[in-house]
Structure 1
Amino acid sequence: MGDELLAISIDSASGDGPRRVHCRLCGRPLTGADSRRTGLGPTCDAKLHPPAPDIRTRRHEVDQDALPGIDQAL
């Protein structure tokens, strides 16, 4: 892996516009700047990097016993 060039999927047929970069996973052309930078489209990126679960949805109220010495008449 020394001095080898990294092969990037770019269609250089059109010389006047921006180069076409294709998704590394599905091969579709990428248009967004973030997608072109990462080399993955939004759908493929979501498949490889799913969002973390929202911890707030897993919280729930728990019935607790009163602490000793505290009056519950409040």
Structure 2
Amino acid sequence: MGDEPLAIAIDSSEAGPRLVRCRLCGRPLTGADSRRTGLGPTCDAKLHPPAPDIRSRRHEVEQDTLPGIDQAP
């Protein structure tokens, strides 16, 4: 082996982005995030639903008055 660098022929017709399909439904993925995760936005939302909003679950609870606190008439 000499000090010559290895020559690799690259055909420009093959150098396009490869087709990546959704792992759940099989549709082609186009977005960078979708291609990275392997799931389309619809399938990702099915598998990872957003967390419920805790603020919507709050409700008023009847409580006894604390001793030593005067109530307004």
TM-score past 0.5 threshold? yes
Is 1:52–2:41 an aligned residue pair? no
The range that moved more, 59-68 or 32-41, is 59-68
Q: Which residue is 2:10 aligned to? A: none
Is 1:29–2:28 an aligned residue pair? yes
- C-alpha RMSD over aligned residues: 1.7
Encode CA deviations 1:7-26: one digit per residue, 9 max, x unaligned: xxxxxxx7243222110111
Q: Which residue is 1:73 aligned to? A: 72
Aligned pair count? 61
- Structure 2 unaligned regions, length at least 5: 1-12
Q: Which residue is 1:9 aligned to? A: none
- Structure 1 unaligned regions, length at least 5: 1-13
Displacement over 4 Å in runs of 4+? none
Whichever of the two has the greater Rg, that structure is: 2
The range that moved more, 47-56 or 24-33, is 47-56
Q: State the identity %.
A: 87
